[in-house]
Chains A and B, each alone.
Chain A
Amino acid sequence: KAGVTQTPRYLIKTRGQQVTLSCSPISGHRSVSWYQQTPGQGLQFLFEYFSETQRNKGNFPGRFSGRQFSNSRSEMNVSTLELGDSALYLCASSQDGNTEAFFGQGTRLTVV
C-alpha cells in the first residue's frame, strides 16, 4: 500500500512569490491535514480537509490556504512568501481525521 506522497520534496522561492504544494493521501483516506515544522516552533497545525471541505484551521494568516479534490488529493498554497515561511511542510492522511495519522516525507521550502 503506497504511503502519503508529497511533491515537490524541495523548493526555493523568493520573498513575495507564491507556492503550491501537493499531497496525495493513502488510498481510502479521506482526511488530509497540513502542518508546518520549524526548529523553533516545532510542528504546528495549519488546516484539515475532509471530503473537499475544510473542517479545522490553525492560527496562521490568510496567506496560507488549501483545498482538497474529489480524489482526496490536497494542495496547499502560500502567497506573498516571507522569510519566516521557510520550513518543512508536512501533510498527514487518516481515514476520517479521528484515527491514526500517517505523514508524508514533507516539502522543504526555503524562502530567500
Chain B
Amino acid sequence: QKEVEQDPGPLSVPEGAIVSLNCTYSNSAFQYFMWYRQYSRKGPELLMYTYSSGNKEDGRFTAQVDKSSKYISLFIRDSQPSDSATYLCAMMGTGNNRLAFGKGNQVVVIP
C-alpha cells in the first residue's frame, strides 16, 4: 500500500464549478499537509499548508483534513480557466523532513 493515494484521473469542469480533490494516507505519523499546484513545465507552487484537522480557507481555496479518517481534501470554488493545472497533495511527519506526494490530479477548467 502506498503511503499517499491520490486517484490520478483527469478532471474537467466548466468555469465557475466547484473542484473537489482528495487524498488518503496510511501513515499515522503524518502531521503536516500541503496542496501544491503545478503548471506544465513549472515547479510545484504551494497553495495550502495545514497541520491540524478541520478546514482552512484561503480565498477560493479550502483545505480539509480529517486525521481520524486519514483523508484530506481541497476545494476550489468559482473555478477559473487559470486554475487548469495538476494538483498534488503532500504530507510529512514531525521531524521527518521528507514530503510524501500523491500522484496528482490534472484539472481542466473549460471556459
Contact = CB atoms under 8 A, between A and B. Distances in A.
Given A42-B102, A43-B88, A103-B36, A33 B97 contact: yes
B19 to A, nearest CB: 20
B94 interface: yes
- Chain A binding surface, main DSSP class: strand
Give the size range of B's interface with the partner.
20 to 34
Contacts of B34: 100-101
B99 A33 contact: yes
Given A90-B43, A101-B34, A103-B43, A43 B101 contact: yes
B7 interface: no
A60 to B, nearest CB: 12
B90 to A, nearest CB: 8
A56 B102 contact: no
A98 B46 contact: no
A103 B101 contact: no
Contacts of B96: 56
Contacts of B41: 108
A45 B99 contact: yes
Nearest to A58: B98
Contact of A56 (B49, B90, B97, B104): B97
Contacts of B103: 42
Nearest to A94: B97
Interface of B: 32, 34, 36, 41-46, 49, 88, 90, 92, 94-104
20 contacts: A31-B97, A35-B101, A42-B102, A42-B104, A43-B90, A43-B101, A44-B101, A50-B97, A55-B97, A56-B98, A58-B98, A97-B97, A98-B94, A98-B97, A99-B49, A100-B49, A101-B46, A103-B44, A104-B43, A105-B43
